[in-house]
Amino acid sequence: MQLITPNNFADYELIDCGDFEKLERWGKYITIRPEPQAVWDKGLSEREWEKTAHVKFISKSSSAGTWQKLREMPDQWKVNYNINTGTGEKARIGFRLGLTSFKHVGIFPEQAPNWDYIYQNVKKLKTPNPRFLNLFAYTGGASLAAKAAGADTTHVDSIKQVVSWARENMELSDLRDIRWVVEDAMKFVKRELKRGNRYNGIILDPPAFGHGPNGESWKLEKNINEMIKLVQDLLDPADHFLILNTYSLGFSSLIIENLLDDKAGKNLNIGELYLKATSGKVLPLGVFGRFAK
C-alpha cells in the first residue's frame, strides 16, 4: 500500500495538527479548522496557534459554524498549484478560496497527488481527444488537471453554487470549455450508460453522506458498490484510468481493494493520502484505489 502526500504545493502548508484541529497556511493566510482525525496532542502550544493564525472556525453544530478573525484577512483570496506533469513542462491551476460556513475553504490539498496522476495519465492515453469525468466534483481540482492535460472534461456536482465556484477556478486557471452538470451523480451515470457514452478517465471522490439537487440520498456504505459497478461500465474498455477516493472514518483500504479488484486486477494501486505537518505530525486523510489500462 502506498502512502502519498503533496510534495510541490508551495501555496499550502499543514503547520500543526492535534486535539481535533489543524493549523494550515493557504498562501499568505493561516487558518484553524476542526479535524476529526487529529486525535493526538498538538505539537505546538495553544499560544503559538493563536499567535500564528489569522482566523479560527468556531463550530455551532456538526455541519456549520462561523469564523473568528484573529488578524486582518480577506474573506476570499487566491492560491495556485503547479502540477507535477512528469515531463518537466509547466501546468498551473488556480483556486479562489473563501471562508465558508461549513469549515471548508474551497480545496482539499491532500488531493494534489491525484491531480498529478490525472494530468499524467491523460497525457498517456492513446485515444485522440480523450474524455474525462469528475463525479462529486466539488470546486474542480481534478477537472482543472484533466482539462489542462487536454481532456474533454465533464464536471458533475449536485450543488449549483459549488459548480459556479469551480467555473471561477477554471477561469483563474486560464482554461475553458469544461462541461458543467448540476445533478445527482448516480442519476447522471445511469443516464450516460443509457446513452452509450464512454470515458477514458474517471475520478470519484464521494462524501460519506449527502443529497442530490432533488433530495436524492447518498450514503457511502449503502451506495458505493452500485456506483462502482456502473462507473466501471462507463470506462472505454481499451484505454482508461480510474480513481476512487474516500474520506470516511473507519473506511478501510481493504474495502477499496474489494470494490475495484475484479476490474483492475494486477493493475490496482491502493494507498492512503496524508499531510505531514511542519511540526512533524502526520495526518491521514482518506484512502484511494487507482488503476489504468
- Per-residue pLDDT of 156-197, as tens digits, reads 999 999 999 999 999 999 999 999 999 999 999 999 999 999
For residue 232 the three cell numbers come to 466501471
If one counts every other C-beta atom within 10 angstroms of the C-beta of residue 26, the result is 21
Q: What is the pLDDT of residue 88?
A: 87
Q: Percentages helix, strand, coil for the chain, rounded to the nearest 5?
A: 30, 35, 40
Q: Any idea which of 54-63, 99-108, 276-285 has the lowest mean pLDDT?
A: 54-63
Q: CA gyration radius for the chain? A: 19
Please report the domains of the chain, with CATH numbers, ordered by start residue: 2-76 (2.60.40.1180), 107-292 (3.40.50.150)
Kindly tell me if the per-residue pLDDT of 272 is higher than 80: yes
Kindly tell me if the per-residue pLDDT of 284 is higher than 80: yes
How far is residue 250's CA from residue 252's CA, in Å, rounded to a whole number? 6
Task: Give Cα 127 to chain centroid, integer Å.
Answer: 25
How far is residue 58's CA from residue 243's CA, in Å, rounded to a whole number? 33
Burial 215-242 (b: 16+ CB within 10 A, else e): eeebebeebbeebbeebbebbbeebbbb
Q: What is the pLDDT of residue 1?
A: 86
If one counts every other C-beta atom within 10 angstroms of the C-beta of residue 141, the result is 28
For residue 279 the three cell numbers come to 511540526
Question: Cβ distance 169 to 94 under 8 Å?
Answer: yes
Q: What is the pLDDT of residue 266?
A: 79
If one counts every other C-beta atom within 10 angstroms of the C-beta of residue 201, the result is 28
185-195 and 220-234 helices, crossing angle to 10° = 20
CA distances from 42 to 66, 237, 284 (A): 22, 48, 15
Across 98-115, average pLDDT: 96
Kindly tell me if the per-residue pLDDT of 245 is higher than 90: yes
Across 16-24, average pLDDT: 98
What distance, in Å, lies between the first and last C-alpha atoms of the chain?
20
137 or 62, which is more confident: 137
Q: What is the pLDDT of residue 35?
A: 96
Across 251-278, average pLDDT: 91
Across 205-227, average pLDDT: 91
Q: What is the pLDDT of residue 133?
A: 98
- Tell me which residue has cell 482543472: 144
Kindly tell me if the per-residue pLDDT of 208 is higher than 90: no
For residue 37 the three cell numbers come to 482525525
pLDDT in tens, 21-79: 999 999 999 999 999 999 999 999 999 999 999 999 999 987 799 999 999 999 999 99
pTM, entire model: 0.96
